[in-house]
Amino acid sequence: MAVQWALICHGLITLIVVVSFLCGQWPIFQGTPISSIHRFITFGAYQYFLKFVGAVFGDKGTNSILSVEYYCCDRPNPILQSSALSLIIYLAILGSTYCIIVKTSFQYIPGYYLSGVHRYTSLLAVAIGILLFLLTSFSDPGTVTVDNVSQYLSVYPYDNVIYTKKECTTCKLPKPARSKHCSICNRCVARFDHHCGWMNNCIGERNTRYFLAFLLWHFLLCMYATVGIGLVLAGRLKELKIVYILTVYYGVENSFRSLAPHIVQWLLGSYNTQILLMVFLAIVSLLLAGFFAYHAKLCLTNTTTNETFKWQDYISWQKKLHEARASSAALKASINGMNGERKPRENKCKSFFRRSPLENTEAVVKSNVYDKGLLHNLYEVIFPVRLRASNSHTKSKSG
């Protein structure tokens, strides 16, 4: 029984740690233990480690750790930031998981619920996942060059709010709207979304479609594996006649409430590796579903992750500007009040100053000029600028 409880505790702790690390900063978790665990994992643990190193080895030890951090995380690094290393890590995770499934579950396929074809479809599904990783990781995200900069400038006009006409100081090229210079890749990327560390590539105008396909396919792949292992275990339950044995030989009542604890105990005792795999894959599939849903929403509204942060910064700045003006108006009203003009001006100022932050930012409207409707937005993601240009060129020739 101790082993079963240890496995359950292990699964719960893994779930809490993964959710805390990836989702702890979400507003819904503010002020909860999930948020505290997130702060400890992402910031607190490292700070305590630095203090420990400083106490034991002094400033030299702390400076050594900080220089290693800078080398690994804060500057372009040809060793750690290589697509080949990303591919090796990805293949190691995917390959080890698949090998464990093959070793523990394929001996029961074909079984009561699964036919032998799943031995081959699972391999095909993994191969498609690898192909999508290669397309996302090694494809051009939409590098802005001398040859295509004019095309990007015409396709993405400046909105003069978060994007204004300027030149990239590094590339020495006009900077199209929605583009950004990636310091890691050292290039300007059109319709820049983010730099993906897992892929070691930017996600931009030309490979967003591959990235979305990668997220969706791996979500389905994890769900396929989870359901497949579940059906294997259900088949073993049926083939070994566990319910029959429990009810006939052990006198357990033939009801879900009575049978469930005994069946769970049997599964944890006989197939603990498969249970752990199911829990792990279910958690990963939920996280992938969340990431896919977030990026799908961005694509359907023709927004990028980079633009989301830009708008947040702009609205926050406008809010502070309104608050500063309100404070200035309040100060002026109090000064004027000393000269006998206090009441009319003060009332006017108070009515403005008492408005909520949301009301103070009413003038700041997030106007996305690039949102041209759901279907057109989806079309832009599936068919990048180069493909759209070649299609229109072909049509004009045929016309």
**What's the pLDDT at 324?**
86
Q: Is the preceding peptide bond at 76 cis, omega within 30 degrees of 0?
A: no
Strands 180-182 and 194-196: unpaired
Are 195 and 185 spatial neighbours (Cβ–Cβ below 8 Å)? yes
Class of residue 351 by CB neighbours under 10 A (exposed 0-12, middle 13-18, buried 19+): exposed
**Phi, then psi, of 364 in degrees rounded to 5:** -90, 100
How would you write 52-80 as a 3-class SS string? HHHHHHHHHHHHHHHHHHHHHHCCCCCCC
Query: How far apart, in whole angstroms, are the C-alpha atoms of residue 89 and residue 149?
Result: 35
One-letter amino acid of 252:
V
Are 141 and 149 spatial neighbours (Cβ–Cβ below 8 Å)? no
Question: Is the pTM for the entire model greater than 0.85?
Answer: no
Residue closest to 195 by CA, chosen among 304, 340, 278: 304
Q: Enumerate the H helices of the chain as residue ranges.
A: 2-23, 33-39, 45-73, 83-105, 118-138, 149-155, 208-239, 242-248, 256-270, 272-300, 305-336, 342-353, 357-360, 374-382, 385-398
Query: How far apart, in whole angstroms, are the C-alpha atoms of residue 215 and residue 292?
Result: 6
Sign of CA dihedral 155, 156, 160, 166: negative
Q: State the CB neighbour count (10 A cutoff) for residue 215.
A: 22
* Tens of each residue's pLDDT in the chain, 399 residues: 565 566 667 667 877 887 787 777 766 677 888 888 888 888 888 888 888 988 888 888 888 888 887 766 655 555 555 667 788 889 999 999 999 999 999 999 999 999 999 999 999 999 999 999 999 999 999 999 999 999 999 999 999 899 999 999 999 999 999 999 998 888 999 999 999 888 889 999 999 999 999 999 999 999 999 999 999 999 999 999 999 899 988 888 888 888 888 898 888 888 989 998 998 899 899 889 989 999 999 999 999 999 999 998 888 888 888 888 888 888 887 787 776 554 555 455 555 445 444 444 455 667 889 999 999 999 999 999 887 766 555 555 555
**What's the pLDDT at 82?**
63
Query: How far apart, in whole angstroms, are the C-alpha atoms of residue 396 and residue 399?
Result: 5
**What's the pLDDT at 358?**
43
Instruction: State the catalytic residues.
Output: 196
Encoded tokens for 105:
């579950």
**What's the pLDDT at 352?**
47
Query: How far apart, in whole angstroms, are the C-alpha atoms of residue 217 and residue 195?
Result: 20
